[in-house]
């Protein structure tokens, strides 16, 4: 996923532009730059890109954001700081010391502090709303807690030859490529085999999760403390993974000097990534797009 056409739902970047406001995207990851394309009024191409990770360091990303805030000063800016994610994936101490991601969090906190200081120093803080969140959390697993759906299906060569597996760490997507008249029975058999593994939390038809055809014919989630690795046990050596229910909870902080920000309020309601668009859209007075939102507008952080 790195093409602008991969993103089909109308984003806040283009909806706010259509209402006459200016927007900006400052995204550290190369594939995000591709997905969001030209939707924003202003956009930054991530640079320098680190090898392997394909993202720009947080310091460079924040430099770009501060330049845009100082220059065109858009009404809405969306930025992604990728260091925490990249360090979280590779943190070999994730189940114990949590050393790498703790260091990354501290470094990213400094970058967010740079933004706050800049807004204060330039007199923009009093008219700003700052939302700080994550697009997912992370779950860590030991090398012993690995699930290979390919290995599971080898007990049924007829099934294995009729399924293609897309591995995503916390989830596996299974696509039926065999004879059409065997699809229903084949998927049922595969579902039963995969579900029986002790590390598998659940297996779903994509429609149960409101997913489209790109998600394949079956979606398998692992339990917390496990990960998928396909086609081989050693195919996914990454200790930190996401995509399964254990990684749904996210932090969701609302701050800023704007009088619209409610002071000292907290909520125990679980925040999800699908809540971001209705919350920020509600702040700007945008109505829900056609078909509505899947998420909830978390307006308790605002005064009105």
pLDDT given for residue 88 in this prediction: 83
Q: What Cα–Cα distance (Å) separates residue 105 from each residue in 29, 101, 112, 136?
A: 17, 6, 10, 14
Is it true that 4-139+246-301 and 146-240 share their CATH fold? no
* C-alpha span between 75 and 84 (Å, rounded): 26
State yes or no: pLDDT of 99 exceeds 90.
no
State yes or no: pLDDT of 95 exceeds 80.
no
Asked if residues 197 and 114 have their Cβ atoms less than 8 Å apart, the reply is: no
State yes or no: pLDDT of 97 exceeds 80.
no
pLDDT band of residue 278 (cuts 50, 70, 90) is very high
The pLDDT tens digits for 44-85 are: 999 999 998 899 999 999 999 999 999 999 999 999 999 999
* Distance from the first to the final alpha carbon of the chain: 37
Instruction: Note if the bond before 48 is cis, omega within 30 degrees.
Output: yes
Q: Which residues contact 294 (CB under 8 A, 6 or more apart)?
A: 210, 274
State yes or no: pLDDT of 304 exceeds 80.
no
State yes or no: pLDDT of 86 exceeds 90.
no
The pLDDT tens digits for 206-254 are: 999 989 999 999 999 999 999 999 999 999 999 999 999 999 999 999 9
Q: Which residues contact 214 (CB under 8 A, 6 or more apart)?
A: none
Task: Match 């591709």 to its residue by tokens.
Answer: 34
pLDDT given for residue 9 in this prediction: 86
The pLDDT tens digits for 111-127 are: 999 999 999 999 999 99
State yes or no: pLDDT of 273 exceeds 80.
yes
Asked if residues 104 and 118 have their Cβ atoms less than 8 Å apart, the reply is: no
- Label the pairing between strands 130-133 and 252-255: antiparallel
pLDDT above 70: percentage of residues in the chain: 100
Q: What kind of fold does domain 4-139+246-301 have according to CATH?
A: Alkaline Phosphatase, subunit A (3.40.720)
The CATH number of the structural domain formed by 146-240 is 3.30.1360.110
What does the domain layout of the chain look like in residue ranges? Answer: 4-139+246-301, 146-240
Q: Mean pLDDT of all residues in the chain?
A: 95
């Amino acid at each position: 996923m790195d093409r602008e056409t991969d993103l089909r739902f109308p984003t806040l970047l283009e909806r706010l532009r259509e209402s006459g406001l200016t927007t900006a995207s400052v995204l550290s990851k190369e594939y995000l730059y591709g997905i969001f394309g030209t939707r924003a009024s202003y956009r930054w191409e991530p640079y320098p890109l680190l090898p392997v990770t394909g993202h720009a360091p947080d310091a460079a990303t924040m430099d770009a954001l501060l330049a845009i805030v100082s220059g065109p000063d858009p009404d809405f800016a969306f930025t992604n700081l990728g260091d925490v994610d990249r360090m979280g994936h590779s943190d070999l101490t994730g189940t114990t010391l949590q050393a790498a991601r703790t260091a990354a969090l501290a470094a990213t906190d400094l970058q967010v502090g740079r933004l706050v200081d800049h807004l204060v120093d330039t007199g923009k803080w009093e008219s700003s709303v700052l939302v700080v969140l994550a697009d997912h959390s992370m779950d860590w697993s030991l090398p012993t807690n690995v699930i290979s759906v390919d290995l599971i299906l080898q007990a049924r060569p007829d099934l294995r030859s009729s399924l293609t597996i897309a591995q995503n760490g916390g989830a596996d997507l299974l696509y039926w490529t065999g004879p059409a008249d065997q699809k229903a029975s084949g998927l049922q058999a595969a579902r039963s085999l995969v579900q029986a593994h002790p590390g598998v939390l659940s297996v779903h038809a994509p429609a149960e999760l409101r997913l489209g055809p790109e998600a394949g014919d079956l979606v398998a989630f692992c339990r917390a403390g496990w990960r998928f690795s396909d086609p081989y046990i050693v195919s996914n050596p990454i200790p930190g993974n996401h995509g399964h229910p254990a990684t749904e909870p996210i932090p969701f902080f609302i701050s800023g000097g704007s009088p619209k920000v409610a002071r000292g309020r907290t909520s125990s309601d679980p925040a999800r990534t699908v809540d971001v668009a209705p919350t920020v859209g509600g702040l700007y007075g945008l109505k829900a797009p056609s078909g509505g939102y899947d998420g909830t507008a978390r307006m308790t952080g605002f005064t009105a």
